[in-house]
Amino acid sequence: MTLEMHPQRWGDPAHAAPLPASTHALVDAFLGTRDTPASDGATLPEPGLSADLLDSLESLLGAGAVLADDETRRLRTRGKSTPDLLLARAGDLGDAPDVVVRPRTHEEVAAVLGWAVEHHVAVVPFGGGTCVTGGLAAVRDGFAGLVSLDLVRMDRLLDVDQVSMTATFQPGVRGPAAEAMLAEHGLTLSHFPQSFEFASIGGFAATRSSGQSSAGFGRFDEMVVGLRVATPVGELVTGSSPANAAGPDLRQVVLGSEGTLGVITEVTVRVRELAPEKAYEAWAFDSFAAGADAMRHLVQHDLRPTVLRLSDETETMVNLASQSEVGGEGISGALMIVGYETPGALRRRETVTAALGELGAKPLGEERGAAWARGRFHAPYLRDSMLDVGVLVETLETATFWSRRQALYDAVRAALESHLPGALVMCHISHVYETGCSLYFTVAARQGDDPIAQWHAAKSAASDAMVGSGATITHHHAVGTDHRPWLAREIGEVGVAMLRGLKGAVDPTGILNPGVLIP
């Protein structure tokens, strides 16, 4: 089944489930609910590109690859942050592109860039459209127009190397399609971020995505061994080898560049054999802190499962209440999900299980783990249902070293709670490293009169807390426009100068995603 995107919701309404009664009751009790339907009407701004420019674009790519109809433009407007959805639900499509172009090859992408440089048109590369940090809302001021460079037709698996265990994809391949194509070869990529159903291979690379199985499979930037990139000054090909000492690693410059340095047209990734068996299980710890210490012990002692995630006490309470099919009576503290998705991880299972027992965890069995695995891409649909009942739900995330985890958690939580009185602030750790971990916060608050302003104030305070704690502004959501001021603080003036130096080298007229990422 191919899921369809929806301009006002996370994903396919046909796939979404209504809020479970137990969750609705919980939310009603804590926050209060009220029907808050999305607006039916929406007015698109007039396409701003001249007919001459449209004609020249069509002559490059063919008429079928140049789309200016309302529905296509609606679906390429902004991303999927809660403010994005709130604007869309209110009928505000002010950031719509003038036109959507759909190249099929590297050469066609390069041709679009050449055209855009010639006519000074801003170009926004578009993969899965799941960005939650404003990375699709480029600044159009000073440009002759704004083109959404939609990679949806670059959807092929170009090469499989079963000896090196690599695969080369075009950037528009979505997560499920990539897995399906690899499965025909007995292979898997196993990059499973929550956006998996919609997000694209190129987007994973451009934003340094990290998936739910990162404990075992690593971050997406660790999976990438090669990239082909179209830039306004020519083609860049990286990836002569798995690793090398041939100067600064240019792969690691393109990874995370969010379409500001070039358009990724091919991605070569490490793949692995499809596992014949997987297992998930749940464990309970007395506290979030105790569970975090256990995670730290596992990764610092070469005892990694494939999935390792831990909810704090509040998130545990909400999860248990909403998993009515499993039953959560009598469980408290912090819930940990442990998943084994590779033969190697399964070989370690006995040792990991023994270690968890010694670290104070109580086993909750496989049923609750399997329930997590079944619903692993479900949370964003719940957000749609919550918005429908007037509850603002949004997430933000960061990462730090283990010794600063508690201080960062306290600081971000305090910032959110002080700006959103009465809100539910939940947190989990879902990405672990030997030296530290991510912290992923979910906030649910009753919507005020101006929920966007309400959220922005809270998010700004939380972002200040992150950077003020010496942590990163984003572990895996990327920078976009939303995090740009804090990125500048995180990397400092010299870091900003380095990004600008790179930008000037490959995009001297600044047509690529203007206003995104680079301070």
Nearer to a copy of itself, 104 or 272 (CB): 272
Is 326 in contact with 396 (CB distance < 8 Å)?
A: no
* 440 assigned to active site: yes
The answer on whether 36 is annotated among ligand-binding residues is no
User: Minimum distance from CB of 503 to a copy of itself (Å)?
Assistant: 8
Is 375 in contact with 194 (CB distance < 8 Å)?
A: no
The answer on whether 271 is annotated among ligand-binding residues is no
DSSP 228-294: EEEETTEEEEE-SSSS--SSS-THHHHTT-TTSS-EEEEEEEE-EEPPS--EEEEEEESSHHHHHHH
Nearer to a copy of itself, 53 or 412 (CB): 412
User: Minimum distance from CB of 400 to a copy of itself (Å)?
Assistant: 5
Nearer to a copy of itself, 220 or 372 (CB): 220
Nearer to a copy of itself, 392 or 399 (CB): 399
The answer on whether 231 is annotated among ligand-binding residues is no
The catalytically annotated residue of 280, 381, 409, 440 is 440
Helices (H) and strands (E) in the chain, counts: 18, 18
Q: How far apart are CA 333 and CA 291, in angstroms?
A: 9
Nearer to a copy of itself, 23 or 81 (CB): 81
Nearer to a copy of itself, 103 or 262 (CB): 262
The answer on whether 87 is annotated among ligand-binding residues is no
Instruction: Look up residue 133 and give its DSSP letter.
Output: S
Instruction: Look up residue 45 and give its DSSP letter.
Output: P
User: Minimum distance from CB of 277 to a copy of itself (Å)?
Assistant: 14
User: Minimum distance from CB of 254 to a copy of itself (Å)?
Assistant: 7
Sign of CA dihedral 494, 496, 502, 506: negative
- Helix, strand, or coil here: 66? strand
* Backbone φ, ψ for residue 214 (5° rounding): -65, -25
The answer on whether 309 is annotated among ligand-binding residues is no
Work out the angle between the directed axes of helices 405-419 and 451-468 (0-180°, nearest 10).
Answer: 160
User: Minimum distance from CB of 186 to a copy of itself (Å)?
Assistant: 13
User: Minimum distance from CB of 498 to a copy of itself (Å)?
Assistant: 5
The answer on whether 264 is annotated among ligand-binding residues is yes
Is 116 in contact with 60 (CB distance < 8 Å)?
A: no
* Backbone φ, ψ for residue 394 (5° rounding): -150, 160
267 bridge partner residues: 169, 227
The answer on whether 268 is annotated among ligand-binding residues is no
CB-based burial label for 447 (10 Å; 0-12, 13-18, 19+): buried
Query: For the sheet containing 157-161, what is the strand order?
Result: 157-161, 166-169, 263-270, 224-231, 234-238
- Helix, strand, or coil here: 425? strand
Nearer to a copy of itself, 62 or 470 (CB): 470
The answer on whether 210 is annotated among ligand-binding residues is yes
Is 356 in contact with 350 (CB distance < 8 Å)?
A: no
Q: How far apart are CA 23 and CA 322, in angstroms?
A: 5
What are the tokens at 458?
Answer: 């809270």
**Closest Cα partner for 274 from 379, 169, 160, 401?**
160
The answer on whether 152 is annotated among ligand-binding residues is no
Nearer to a copy of itself, 8 or 214 (CB): 214
User: Minimum distance from CB of 437 to a copy of itself (Å)?
Assistant: 8
The answer on whether 263 is annotated among ligand-binding residues is yes
Torsion angle of C-alpha atoms 57, 105, 221, 212, degrees rounded to 10: 90
The gap from C-alpha 208 to its chain's centroid, in whole angstroms, comes to 9
Residues assigned a catalytic role: 440
In the annotated binding site for substrate, the residues are: 383
In the annotated binding site for FAD, the residues are: 207-210, 258-264
